[in-house]
Amino acid sequence: MAEVKKPRQFAKVQRPRLYEQLMTQILAYVEEEKLGPGDHLPAERELAEQLGVSRATLAQALVALEVLGVIDVQHGTGAVLRYRPSVATVLRELREHESRLPEIVEARSTLEVKLAGLAAERRTEEDLKKIDHALLVMTEEIQEGGRGAHGDELFHEAVTAAAKSAVLQKLMTFIAEMVLETRIESLGQPGRPERSLESHKKIADAIRRGDSAGAANAMGEHIELVSDVALLKEDLD
Amino acid sequence: MAEVKKPRQFAKVQRPRLYEQLMTQILAYVEEEKLGPGDHLPAERELAEQLGVSRATLAQALVALEVLGVIDVQHGTGAVLRYRPSVATVLRELREHESRLPEIVEARSTLEVKLAGLAAERRTEEDLKKIDHALLVMTEEIQEGGRGAHGDELFHEAVTAAAKSAVLQKLMTFIAEMVLETRIESLGQPGRPERSLESHKKIADAIRRGDSAGAANAMGEHIELVSDVALLKEDLD
DNA sequence: GAGTCTAGGAGGCTAGGCCAGTAGGCCAGT
DNA sequence: ACTGGCCTACTGGCCTAGCCTCCTAGACTC
Q: What is the mean pLDDT of residues B142-157?
A: 69
A159 CA to C19 C1' in angstroms comes to 52
Q: At what angle do helices B193-209 and B212-232 cross, to 10 degrees?
A: 160
Asked whether residue A76, judged by its CB, lies under 7 Å from any atom of the DNA or RNA strand C, the reply is: yes
A209 touches chain B (CB under 8 A): no
Asked whether residue B187, judged by its CB, lies under 7 Å from any atom of the DNA or RNA strand D, the reply is: no
pLDDT on residue A56:
92
| Interchain CB distance below 8 Å, A103 and B167 | yes
Cβ-based neighbour number of residue A8 at 10 Å: 5
In the predicted structure, residue A11 carries a pLDDT above the cut 50: no
* Kind and range of the H or E run holding A28: helix A18-32
Cβ-based neighbour number of residue B226 at 10 Å: 23
Q: Using a 7 Å CB cutoff, list residues 34-53 of B near strand D.
A: 52-53
pLDDT on residue A80:
87
Cβ-based neighbour number of residue A57 at 10 Å: 20
Contacts of A122 in chain B (CB under 8 A): none
Nearest to A13 by CA among B66, B84, B72: B72
A107 touches chain B (CB under 8 A): yes
- Select the more confidently predicted residue: A74 or A108: A74
pLDDT on residue B174:
67
Q: Which ipTM did the prediction report?
A: 0.54
Chain A interface disruption, residue of B14, B171, B227, B237, most A CBs within 10 A: B171
- Name the residue among A60, A64, A90 with its Cβ closest to that of B169: A90
Quote the distance between the C-alpha of residue A175 and its chain's center.
1
pLDDT on residue A101:
52
- Name the residue among B75, B165, B173 with its Cβ closest to that of A103: B165
Q: Return the closest nucleotide (C1') to the Cα of B43.
A: C10
In the predicted structure, residue A46 carries a pLDDT above the cut 70: yes
Contacts of A59 in chain B (CB under 8 A): 56, 60
* Cα separation, A132 vs A204, whole angstroms: 8
- Select the more confidently predicted residue: A59 or A28: A59
- Select the more confidently predicted residue: A4 or A209: A209
Average pLDDT value for chain B? 72
Q: What is the mean pLDDT of residues B214-232?
A: 69
| Interchain CB distance below 8 Å, A93 and B169 | no
CA geometry: angle at B124 spanning B121 and B126, to 5°? 150
| Residue B202 to chain A, least CA–CA distance (Å) | 22
Query: What is the Cβ-side half-sphere exposure of residue B85, based on CA atoms within 13 angstroms?
Result: 16
Of chain B residues 114-143, which have a CB less than 8 A from chain A? 114, 118
pLDDT on residue B167:
75
Given a contact cutoff of 8 angstroms between Cβ atoms, the answer to whether B109 and B182 are in contact is no
pLDDT on residue B78:
85
| pLDDT bucket at A65, cuts 50 / 70 / 90 | confident
* Cα separation, A58 vs A48, whole angstroms: 6
In the predicted structure, residue A227 carries a pLDDT above the cut 80: no
Nearest to A17 by CA among B42, B77, B84, B66: B66
Q: What is the mean pLDDT of residues A116-136?
A: 88
Chain A interface disruption, residue of B170, B173, B184, most A CBs within 10 A: B170
* Kind and range of the H or E run holding A79: strand A78-81
Q: What is the mean pLDDT of residues A53-69?
A: 86
Residues B167-187 have pLDDT tens digits of 788 777 766 655 544 333 333
| Residue A56 to chain B, least CA–CA distance (Å) | 7
Residues B42-66 have pLDDT tens digits of 888 888 888 889 989 999 988 888 8
Q: What is the mean pLDDT of residues A87-102?
A: 46
CA distances (Å), B1 to each of A143, B4, B5, B138, B144, in order? 76, 8, 11, 21, 12
Range name among A32-36, B45-49, B100-104, B211-215 with the lowest pLDDT average: B100-104
In the predicted structure, residue B199 carries a pLDDT above the cut 70: yes
**Highest mean predicted confidence (pLDDT) among A59-73, A145-159, B75-89:** A59-73
Q: Which nucleotides of C are covered by protein (CB under 7 A)?
A: 9-17, 20-23
Q: Return the closest nucleotide (C1') to the Cα of B15.
A: C21
* Cα separation, A5 vs A186, whole angstroms: 15
Chain A interface disruption, residue of B110, B157, B182, most A CBs within 10 A: B110
Given a contact cutoff of 8 angstroms between Cβ atoms, the answer to whether A156 and A108 are in contact is no
Q: What is the mean pLDDT of residues B56-79?
A: 84
pLDDT on residue B66:
81
Interface contacts A/B by beta carbons within 8 Å: 110
The domains of chain B, with CATH numbers, are: 18-92 (1.10.10.10), 98-232 (1.20.120.530)
In the predicted structure, residue A38 carries a pLDDT above the cut 70: yes
Quickly list H helices, chain B: 18-32, 44-51, 55-67, 86-97, 101-122, 125-143, 149-162, 166-181, 193-209, 212-232
